Amino acid sequence: MRTVSRVQNDRSVLRNHDGLLLEVGFTLIELMIVITIILILVGMAAANYGKFVQRAREAVLKHDLRTMREMIDHYNADKETPPRSVEDLCSAGYLREVPVDPITSTKEWSTRYGSVSLFPDRAAPGVVDVSSKSTGTALDGTKYSDW
């Protein structure tokens, strides 16, 4: 059975069954080494977390662009004219709301205008493509505005 006793220098010790004194606790250098290792691991995790967040934002941006481009195509096919703005897709019921660009955190998108002609005699101008207004670069090295 172990018993805790106090020595004159007020350090905690344990006495084992043979009567030998065993010191209890950690030295300062041991604590510093453990804290250093923990900080290194936290630093590595924080760097990876930032990349995961950026990768997720890029995935959301690709999905939103694909969805808006599909809805522009559906609008063209149904109305036989392209939408005049992204908001026209919402008012016509093709989108519930204009999605937020996950890179710029705004609902503003760069639109490319052109004329779409489903029939040769009915060419109408309107939105033919959308892209992000961000000037940043993706993890793969391409610009968000080129997607």
Q: Tens digits of per-residue pLDDT, 54-106? A: 999 999 999 999 999 999 999 988 888 889 999 999 999 999 999 999 999 99
pTM of the model: 0.69
Give the burial string for 103-142 (b: 16+ CB within 10 Å, else e).
Answer: bbeeeebebeeeebeeeeeeeeebbbebbbebeeebeeee
Q: What is the mean pLDDT of residues 19-35?
A: 81
Q: What percent of the chain has pLDDT over 70?
A: 81
